[in-house]
Structure 1
């Protein structure tokens, strides 16, 4: 189930608690927890509803601009299918976040290594786990198609493999590309793999940018802004003027600044 970034942020804030979809059959089960950019989103209900029964209150709960906008969105694709109301709630942080930040001990590393070896043995194209980890370490924040090309792989299969590493807490997805986690680095170091990343200069100190979408991330990084503290040196007007930075990105930046005890240079918007 696809949920737009702005809607995810509203679900986390408690401003949205339902979604409406036209499905040929229920595609989610009650209790399902979806991993999203803002954390876990739990499905609390899945019910068919007559399209004509939708109300303005339904539209508000779903984050739609109006009842007409909600109905237009539902009728855009497959208007012949029944409408389902999906109850949603924010269910906390993604547990993989804590996992990738935890440096494993020797016993944990041995278990991780054994799991990677199993993935390599099961692969019809040969071992790939360490090569992929090393490539992400060498080229963080690089587009998946570019990384896939470096490994002579198609992008979908490359992304599938990276998701397997992410499930083990070894990598982290960025708005553009990926980076190696502390857990992934510990595994490579334990095995003695040469790591080109160790020769790079130390990363810019400070708080990383929140997830604001690839266009906004590209716009900020093109101006040398890669940390939240650097955003605080800009006015909100300057940030909004950057091509690719829309209202969602500004709202996410404003929230992240507030949580870090910072503001835009011209203060709260």
Structure 2
């Protein structure tokens, strides 16, 4: 007896839910960009002209023609290096501080007013202090990244510690566990998702701030390159710089989201 059942259709729901919406969103952005370009009589380059210039620009991303004339690749790498240094220092200080503030009520009441006072200050307001103390644009930019990155990590880590169920800590007290075992066996696994959220927020803020800091301090970096192209009235390169900043920020965000999901999955499955 022959099989007369109809062939099974492939499931294309993933295409509708995962692929089509972002593609339509990008297409809408390009369409708006093209309309704005035509409405400004070409003073803002359109997508096609920008793409052609970007292909030429990225054909030699690591050229060097002097300290103030370097390829876009060097500018991005220098900005990422400053972000990594400032963010790394903030993580070394902020995450342990968050654990201590969340773990001990006295420290929480002691430092909460300081955090509430300093956190709303614009990160760029700290740049002159960095220039005054460190006597250089590069360490001042790293200092600015540090001061803007530390607050999300301190606050999210402290909140995570404070939300650990009291029953866990009561059991640890009954079992007379050392503070180190409380940290490694109870606090750290429970706080990890909060901590990674703080890290993700801190990296996003750091990447936003480094562009503005470099526009003010100069040197080699994506922010300085953008400002230098404005001084040269090269609007096409300004648009390319904006796209590069957005793409790098998106990649950082995506990488940290995947890292957070990976650690959360391991914790749940253990």
TM over 0.5: no
* TM-score (norm. length: structure 2): 0.25
- Which structure would you say has the larger Rg? 2
Higher helix share: 2
